[in-house]
Structure formats: C-alpha cells, structure tokens
Structure 1
Amino acid sequence: RRSSPRRRGGDSSQGGRTPSSESSDPPTAAAATSEAGRAVIWGTTVNMDEVMHMFTDFLRNYRVPSAGARGSSSGAEDDDELDEPHYMRMLAEIAESQVYNLNVDLKCLFDYEGSRPLYALLVKYPQEVIPLMDLAVHREFERLWPQAAAVMDRRIQVRTFNMKEVTRMRDLNPADICQLVSIRGMVTRTSGIIPDLKVAFFRCLTCGNTEEVIADRGRIDEPAVCARCDARHSFELVHNRCVFADRQHIKLQETPESIPEGETPNTVTLYAFDALVDVARPGDRVEITGIYRATTDRTNPRMRTVRSVYSTYLDVLHVKKTDKARLSAEDPTAPPDSEFAAPFAERAGAVRAEAVRSRMEAIAADPDVYEKLARSLAPSIWEMDDVKKGLLCMLFGGTHKDLGKQGKIRGEINVLLCGDPGTSKSQLLTYVNKIAPRGVYTSGKGSSAVGLTAYVVRDPETRELVLESGALVLSDRGICCIDEFDKMDDITRSILHEAMEQQTVSIAKAGIVASLNARTSVLASANPVESRWNAQRSVVDNLQLPPTLLSRFDLIYLVLDKVDKVSDARLAKHLVALYHPTATLEAAPYAMTELAEYLTYSKTHIHPEISDEAAGMLVSAYVAMRGAGRKGGRNTITATPRQLESLIRLAEARARIRLSSTVDPEDVTEAQRLMSAATQTAATDPITGAIDMGRINTGRTAASVDDVEKLANALRDMLSTRRRGHKMGLAALTRELERQSDVAVDAGVMQDALRMLATERRVRYTEGARQITVLNG
C-alpha cells in the first residue's frame, strides 16, 4: 500500500517519487530564474520550485473579494478585515491556537489567477504536490512566527476541500486512481483506532546498535547488515520505541437521493488518519476530499501471488459535514465542553461568533418570528399551520436533562401524523428529513427490528463480529422519519418502546452486549385501517397500534380530509399554482439555509430554564386538565404525567424559538394550545364530547368502560340461572339480551364483557367458535 496522506519530515521530495533535475517543460514565470535550481519530480510534470512559489504567492496575497464570494467559497463570515490576506490571518490563528491544520479552499485556489495551474497539478498529482504545499506553509510560518515554530511538534498540514467538481461514488473508475477526488455520502460504519506504523525502531541483538527506518509507501525495509558489527539479520523490532499514527477505517454509502432508479447503494472504504480519526460518525452526511488509491489483494497471506483485480479505497484529506440547507448537529462556535462542539474545523476561516450571534438575534427580535418560521417550514404545503408549528417545536426540541444517578429526562419531541390518505403527511416527513442533521427516512413495511436497531456482521478486515448501526442509531441527535407506521409488524414496533422513552437501544446477540444511544425524535405517519378515518372509533382502533406505543408520542395530529367548498377552492388554487408556469406563489419568509442556521444556533446556545411564573402555570394547567375528567359525575383520565412532560418540552422548544433563556408564561400558553389542537383532539370521546386520555392509553373511553361493566353485570344475572357446563352460541346470547333490554348490543362491548367474565372464571369463551360455556353460574 502506498503511504497515507499523513506527511512527516522536512525533505521536500517526500511525495513518494524521486525528484529529477531535468524536465521537458519550459520554465514558467513562477519558476526559479536559475535553470540549475529547477527540480521536477520523476514521472510527473510537477516542478517543485514552481509549486512552492505559486502556493506561497497564494498564501501571501489572496484576499476574499466580496461578501458573496466569502459566503460561497472561503467560508469566512462577516469579516471586516478584507485588506488583510485571508490565509495570513489563518496562520496567525494557528500560531495562537496551536492546531496545526490549514484548510485550503480549492475554489479560492482556482479563482486566484496566479495559482490556477497549481489547481490542475494538485488534482492530477496530489501525492507529490501536497507535501510541497506543506513545506511552503511551514517555511512561511517559520518566517512570520519563528518562536511559535520552534516549539511545534509537527508540521502544519494542508487539508484541501471544496473542489470544483464532486464525483459521484459510482462514477469512480481506474482513471481516478492516485488523483484527488471529492465524493458525498453517508457514513454507515467506523472501526476502532488502529495503530499505523510510521517509523520503525530496530536494535541489533549482537552489539546493541539502533537504527530508525521511515515507512515508505506503507512498507518497512528491515536493515540486513549491522553497520557497527557487520552481523547479518541480527535486528529486532522494538515496539515501544516505534512511532505510530492513528488510523481508522470508514464505510461510506451513497445517500438515498443520489441512487439511480432500480440501483442499490454503492459503498467506498475510507482511511482516516490522525486528526481526522473519529471526526465522521455513523449517520453523518459528509463530503470527503481525498486521494483515490488501489491496493493488491492476496489470495493467501503466505503466498506471493496476488489477484488481478485490485481493491480501492480513499485516503481522507478533509471531512466536511456542513450543509447550509440542513440543520447541523455540530457548531464550530460552541464551547469545547459542549455536546455540539465540532471535533474538527471544517472550513477555511474562523467562524465569527459575534457576527453569527448578532444575525440570529436580529431574526429573533421580530415579534412574528414564530409565525414566520412556521410558514417557512414546507412552504409548498398549503396551510396546516398547527401541524407545522408542532413540527417546528420538534426540530428545536426541549432541554436534555441529566439527573446523575436519578436518570435522564429526554428533550426530544415525538410526533405522530395520522388521518386520511392524500393529506400531505409523507410530504411533511420528506421535508423534515431534508433539514434534519442526521435524519433517516424509512418505511414501516420495509423496516425490520434489526434494521431499526443494529445487526451483527463480520468485519471484512479483522474477521471479527461487529455491530452495524440501524436507522434509530444512525439518527442519534437527529430525527428518524417513519412512513406507513401502521404497516409495521408487532415485533418491529416493540423495538421503539425503549428508544422513544429511554433514548437507548439494548443489544444482546452473538456475544455482544451493548446499549447504544438513540437520542432521536421519531416523526411517524400512519393511515387508518379502513382507509378513511372513523370518528366513532379511537386512535387505537383506527390505526391498530398498541396504546403503550401511542402514549409515547408527545403530539398526535389528526390530519383529516374534510369537505368544505371554500377551503377546497383555496387548496385547488394553491395546487394549480404549483404546476402553472406563470403563477406566483407566496415566498417563504426565510430560506431553508436561514432556517437551518437559526435552528443550529438555537439548539447549540439556548438552554432555557423554567421561570417561577411558568412553573406555576404548568402545575395549574396539569391540575386543570386532570380536573376536567371529573365533570359530569365521571372520573375519566384527561391527562397523565407523560402529558405534563410533553407540555414542558413544548414550552422549552417555544422558548428556544424566541432565543430566550427562560420559559415564560406565553410559552406555556402556546404549549397548551398545541396540546389541545393535537393530542387532546385525538382523545376526545365522540359520544360525550369530553377529553378522555383512555382513548390513547387503553383504546377505550371511560363511557365505553362503563358500558362494558353494565353489560357484564347483566350477563352475570342471566348466567346465574344456568347450570354448570351449559353451552350456548354468541348470537343466541346476544339475541336474548336484546329481548330483555330492547337495546341493540354492540359487538365490541359484548366481546369485552365476555372476556371480563372469562377472567373471573365464570364462563369459558372460545372466540374462534364463538361459543360460551358456563363454569360458575
């Protein structure tokens, strides 16, 4: 294997090939004036002096041209020091921070007239050019900051990114080998840290002489003869004196939106070294810049013969996770001890925290920021304002609380959209998946239990059993969107109980016992079993979902297709305008990039605490919701402690939308309204019109429970006159009850009453044969 992009030493010819003093190319303006000073690396057109001269000129003179170019290419934000060379300022920051990585934006390198030939050489011969760029940066740093350079433990490493063209993963071919490429994808698996030998330390067993050998293209040549005692083959490797680098294997898979129709996703193996280890995590959508390489594959490690088909991989030079149209899970302006702190600076320039804060506070100062952000979410979907506000609160989320030994309280908000088909439920899921930082979109019928959690595979390199992350684990600190939630089988749905409340996924298989983080919000959509929503039935009966799972959703929205002439006309005009070429649609108040940036800043820096007044309102609201069930002489459950926790999370999310550090009464009021518009609507008893959480928690209202109890009492009185062992059919028993009461008996209530008597050992009820046997009349 060729050497990795990790560079070492001070010799400028360490690009992997021997420099030559001759070249067929004429010297350019950037080359040294002396013909004897020209040195060209053998087998290439890389003139060492020209490369270093062009790159040094770029470092010293490149300036960010304008605010627009600064936002699109260099990545520096709101910097007033436009007269100062951009990369000179970055070197000054390196001298202060002592983080010896220089991110070079290749679009800037191409736009600068003096370095445009260098861009072409870099893409074609990265293994030779990058060490020369390292050397040029190091010399410039020594010239400007000699004291800081004297205490450096290694050279400054140039990390290039933002190429002009991004290659599709399936378009990589042999012509790209040993060239600089850039690909996009989603990380599916990362290995542990593997030591990679860079400098071997040998000691002679005869005389004790020591020698150091630097790895060349991944190979170590052991000294054959000792220079002191002339002993042959007398050296041994001293492991604790060798120099190792960190290495990590990464599997990168094509993102779902980039896969052609009818194709399966391709994967590429990545090798990350040193500072890039553990930067990319499973679930991250990244843009990788690196060197595409090929290595031999031996049929047997003990045999010299190799296969004619080589294995390919990518040596990583830069990892970029920032997507302006997507909420970021990390923020470079976050403190180092924050869970949102970025482990690796991805951009070519410092992010000005003050400039970002002033811009976000300007948006939050708008009194209508809540309404405008809701309208900016999925602007192509007409109205559905309350649903969009609920999804907006889900994106912002509540505050995650760690109580130490007492446990943790989740801050993620789970939302269920259920109702009639054709009401834009899947469109909302698609939009949220696009803006979520680590969003995974899956379908209920196409998901299995191991696909949602984790599955065991054999590592192709070490041949050991390892875990591959599933959808919930890949969505950690993101949002998992599950469409057709009602089509899941019971085994798959049972997996979600732990993930939606404890935020973990426990695995015990193939000798691997682990508890994986699944700190994800679940956004699900479901259709009723009868294709149309039946208002006379509960959510549990309409969706055929277990009540224990439904109670874990903070918001349950009923998206119904109601017939209304005025509303239908407005919806039709909106849909026609989407297809009409000359129609003008109302523009969203904020673009997706602005919305994503605002979300990232709020989740990173705003952690609201509940004020005393808001705490009193929360207690009063919960007591009032509980007290509503005692009206009319009934004792129905209108709220549970889970509804109170949901209310707190919604209030915290509402405070985050305003960039407020405290939860105010207006946030509690809006949280109550959202709960009333969503979950409590789903829990309303259509017969009594009262709110009854039993419709969600048990699938039955208090009124239906009373009906079952009354029918069970009537059955007890009737069967008390029958002898033991008497048998009768269900239809005959129903007709006899109806003759006695002159009221039609509901089949579902009859079934529940017979099950209650069977539990009391009064009857034996065979549901398949629909036959009742009296046990204790």
Structure 2
Amino acid sequence: GGGQQRAEGGEEGGEAAAAPAVSLPYIQLQLTNDRDAQPMRRLELTDDTEKMVFVSGIITSVSKPQHKTRILKLVCSGCKAVKKIHLRMDQGIVQIPRVCEARMGRDAGDHAEKCPLDPFLKVPDECEYQDIQYLKMQELPEDVPTGELPRNIRLCANNYLCDLVFPGARVSVVGVFSVTDKAGPPKGGGGDRMVRSTVLRVLGYGSQDQGWGRFSQTQQFSNEEIEHFKQLAADPDIRTKIYKSVAPALYGMDTIKQAVSCLLFGGARKLLPDNNRIRGDINVLLLGDPGTAKSQFLKYVEKAAPIAVYTSGKGSSAAGLTAAIIREGQRGFSLEGGAMVLADGGVVCIDELDKMRAEDRVAIHEAM
C-alpha cells in the first residue's frame, strides 16, 4: 500500500515538474538578531569584509530614496543578442563588455562581421530597478572612549527597508560589511581607485528604543535590583536621598539638585479628551556667576541620563541643534539630525546659552 502511494506521488510530482514555472512576486527577507550588538569600533577590514555583522549605533543622516538598476539589460547592435548583468545594490560603477560573445568565437562564422567593438546598447525600459537609500550611522555615545571623536559608517538599504528609520533613532543593524567603489570617475583622469570606501549593506533593522527614540530596552534589571527598587520606593525619606545623590561632590545648592532630579525623572505625558497633548518634559535653566558649578551640573546630567548630548551654545547654530540639509555629491540632499534630534527621549545639555545668537535660540523654543 505504501509503495503504491509513493508511486502515485511520483507520478503527480512528474506532472508538477512538467507544468510551466510559476513566477513568484519579489520577496525580501529581513534578518534580526536577539544577541547583543557589537560596537562599531570592533569592525575590522581584514576580518569582517564580506561577512555578516551585527552592529549598533544611532542614525544621524538619511538620504532620499532613489531608483537604481538591479538587472541591466543590454542588446548587441549587430547580432541582437541579449545580455543581462546583475548589479549589487552598493555597486557604483558598471563595466559593460566591449566585445560581443558572438565575436569571441561563439557562432563566429555567422556574426563575425556584424558585431563591432562596443556593440552593446542599454534598454532602460526593460531593465529591473530597486529603491536605494543611503544612511549614516554613528556609534553610540556610551561606546565612544573619552577624548575621541565618534566614528560613523555608511549604510545602504533597499526596497522595503527604505524609510524605516529616521535621524535620531537608536538601531541595531544586521548587514554585510563590504568594500565598494565611490560613484563617478576617479579624480585626475583614468585609472582605478586605490582607496575604496566601506559600506554596510542592510539586511534588517532592530530597534533599541521604544517608539524609535525612547528609553533603551537593553537596560535589563535583575530580580534583586527590582526588589531593591521596591524597598527604596517604600522609604518615606526617598526624596531627600535622591536629592543628595545628585552631584554629591557639590556642597549645598539643594534647590538646584531638586530641580535636576525632577528633570532626570521627568513628568507624565497627558492626552486630553480633545486630543491635545501636555508634555511631560521638564526644562531647567541655570543662571549664576562664573564658577558656581553650572557646567558641573551639566556634566553630571550628561553622564547620569541614559540618552544625553552635550553641546556649547557659543559654537552652535540653529541647523546644528535641530536638523540640517546636507548635499551629498551626485546623490542629492539628505537630512542630518542635530543635537536635539540625537537626544530625543533624553536630555540635551546646552552650555553658555547666553552666548548663542538670538536667531539660533529661536530654533529650540519649539522643542522646549
């Protein structure tokens, strides 16, 4: 009985194999990873090139999606032979064959005189295209060693992965770390480039925030810590302990420490019945003579807050604090987030606020 069933199944399989192939729609898989992402500084060209990596960072710049050729269709002007070239999404320069295959020996007797040099012509209407978006990801502030500048890497996303993240989002990216040519001819005439640029071909995003810009979910607490928090919450004198724990190296200034504590904890956002929102963020402005520890409080808040960006108002502009439009060569314009965008869901510390120009100070009023 079993053999007879297998025989019938084999016949059905034969009929299915003889049936015409069904064209499937375009399918794109998004890969994710539950493990801890590695910092950007651990990427090495010698070991990680053309390998799948899992890195974390913060998105600082997002370009406008563009259409790019995925399959280039060429037609020989002599023998009308069709040739298709598959392109990688980060490939900048396409090398079109200069000689038709018919001229190189395949059916040379029939097409040797018909195929001239450089015979291929592009057929734009019959090529296949895909959406391409370039992003810039900067390493997380907590991963930057003291005294060093943060590093960044260029990302390349395609199709359904476009327009998924925005400047200021903390993400973990699964992708292939590769080396590619820059678009356009090399400077100084012909010849190949001796220096290549690195790019991370995105295979999937993972959010490290709640709502793309909120408190990090990677902060996990143990059961002992949760029990300790509950005991602290039951303490009737917990407010005084919190106030004293703010900048303990500074003596006195109890009122300022209370204000800084309220700023770090934040308020509760309220949604009114008429759909009006009342912000829960608390803003603090410190005024005082030089040498009264205003900058020390700013430094403490920057280290204590999970998400914080420190900047000085003397060298800040409206574009640097909010957002700026950056021109990126032949790829057009991109939106690059400033200090207030990168500190979304956290605290932005602006020192020397009175040194800022009035037209630049207006830019932060809407965010406040």
Per the TM superposition, whether the score is higher than 0.5 is yes
Inter-partner Cα distance in structure 2 for 1:429 and 1:297: 41
Contact conserved, 2:243 with 2:261, CA < 8 A, in 1? yes
Cα 1:469–1:341 shift into 2, 3 Å: closer
Inter-partner Cα distance in structure 1 for 2:39 and 2:258: 36
Structure-to-structure mapping, 1:268-667, within 5 angstroms: 268-272=153-157, 280-285=165-170, 288=173, 290-300=175-185, 306-316=192-202, 322=208, 330=210, 364-382=233-251, 384-401=253-270, 408-463=277-332, 465-500=333-368
Q: Deviations over 1:363-416 (max 9, x none)?
A: 544434433444444445445443232222223333445569896543321101
For the aligned residue pairs, the C-alpha RMSD in angstroms reads 5.0
Q: Which has the higher helix share?
A: 1
Cα 1:287–1:457 shift into 2, 3 Å: same
Higher-Rg member (1/2) = 1
Cα 1:238–1:365 shift into 2, 3 Å: farther
Inter-partner Cα distance in structure 2 for 1:195 and 1:160: 32
Inter-partner Cα distance in structure 2 for 1:154 and 1:454: 32
Q: Deviations over 1:335-385 (max 9, x none)?
A: xxxx9699xxx87xxx99x99998866654443443344444444544544
Contact conserved, 2:173 with 2:204, CA < 8 A, in 1? yes
Inter-partner Cα distance in structure 2 for 1:356 and 1:268: 36
Structure-to-structure mapping, 1:238-277, within 5 angstroms: 247-254=132-139, 258=144, 261=147, 265-272=150-157
Task: Tell me which amino acid in the other structure corresponds to 2:194.
Answer: S
Inter-partner Cα distance in structure 1 for 2:247 and 2:137: 29
Whether 1:168 aligns to 2:168 is no
Cα 1:162–1:214 shift into 2, 3 Å: farther
Contact conserved, 2:40 with 2:139, CA < 8 A, in 1? no
Contact conserved, 1:296 with 1:306, CA < 8 A, in 2? no
Cα 1:238–1:405 shift into 2, 3 Å: farther
Task: Tell me which amino acid in the other structure corresponds to 2:360.
Answer: T
- Where do 5+ consecutive residues of structure 1 fail to align? 1-152, 205-212, 226-231, 323-328, 333-338, 501-777
Inter-partner Cα distance in structure 2 for 1:214 and 1:364: 65
Cα 1:277–1:388 shift into 2, 3 Å: farther
Cα 1:413–1:197 shift into 2, 3 Å: same
Alignment partner of 1:482: what SS?
strand
Q: Which has the higher strand share?
A: 2
Inter-partner Cα distance in structure 2 for 1:392 and 1:320: 31
TM-superposed deviation, 1:159? 3.2
Inter-partner Cα distance in structure 2 for 1:238 and 1:358: 65
TM-superposed deviation, 1:486? 2.6
Cα 1:235–1:421 shift into 2, 3 Å: closer
Contact conserved, 2:56 with 2:173, CA < 8 A, in 1? yes
More relative contact order in 1 or in 2 (CA 8 Å, sep 6+)?
2
TM-superposed deviation, 1:496? 3.5
Contact conserved, 2:172 with 2:206, CA < 8 A, in 1? yes
Inter-partner Cα distance in structure 2 for 1:247 and 1:355: 47
Alignment partner of 1:418: what SS?
coil
Contact conserved, 1:299 with 1:307, CA < 8 A, in 2? no
TM-superposed deviation, 1:179? 3.7
Cα 1:161–1:281 shift into 2, 3 Å: farther
Alignment partner of 1:493: what SS?
helix
Task: Tell me which amino acid in the other structure corresponds to 1:168.
Answer: R
- Where do 5+ consecutive residues of structure 2 fail to align? 1-26, 76-83, 103-119
Contact conserved, 1:166 with 1:181, CA < 8 A, in 2? no
Task: Tell me which amino acid in the other structure corresponds to 1:314.
Answer: L
Q: What count of residue pairs does the alignment treat as equivalent?
A: 304
Contact conserved, 2:270 with 2:280, CA < 8 A, in 1? yes
Task: Tell me which amino acid in the other structure corresponds to 1:493.
Answer: R
Contact conserved, 2:66 with 2:133, CA < 8 A, in 1? yes
